[in-house]
Structure 1
C-alpha cells in the first residue's frame, strides 16, 4: 500500500503540477540526468528566424532543389 500525504493542495493547483511515479522510475530518471544532464533546446537568433521564414517561403513556391539534383550539380563541377 502506498500512502501519499499532500500538505497544501492549493499550491499544487495554482502553479504546480503533481506527477506520481514509482520510486524506481524516478531513480532511473535521476541516473539518466546525472549521466546526460539537461538537454538544451535550440533557440534561434533573429537572423536565423528570418532565414528560416525565407526558406519556408521559397519551399512553398517550389523554389528548391532535391538532394539528388544538388549532389549531381556538385559532382559535375569536380
Structure 2
C-alpha cells in the first residue's frame, strides 16, 4: 500500500507501479466514488452517446445492404452522393 499526499489543487499522484499496472496515461479519465468511507478510482473511457447511436445505425445499414461503393476516388463518392440525393444539385 502506498501513501500519497494531496496537493494544493487537491491533486493526488498515482504511484508509478499502479500507474503502469493499469496502463494509465496522461489525459486518461478516472471515475471516483466514495464507498463506505473509502475513495475508489476506476479507469473510464468516455464515449459520446451520439457517436454510439450513429455507429449502431451505420452497422445496421451495412447489415441490410444499404451501402454504396467501393469507390476508387473522391470524385466517384461525390457523384454517387449526388445521384442518391433527393435535393437538386446547386449550380
TM norm. shorter chain > 0.5: no
Higher relative contact order (CA 8 A, sep 6+): 2
Tell me the TM-score normalised to structure 2 length. 0.32
Q: Which has the higher helix share?
A: 1
Tell me the TM-score normalised to structure 1 length. 0.37
Q: Which has the higher strand share?
A: 2
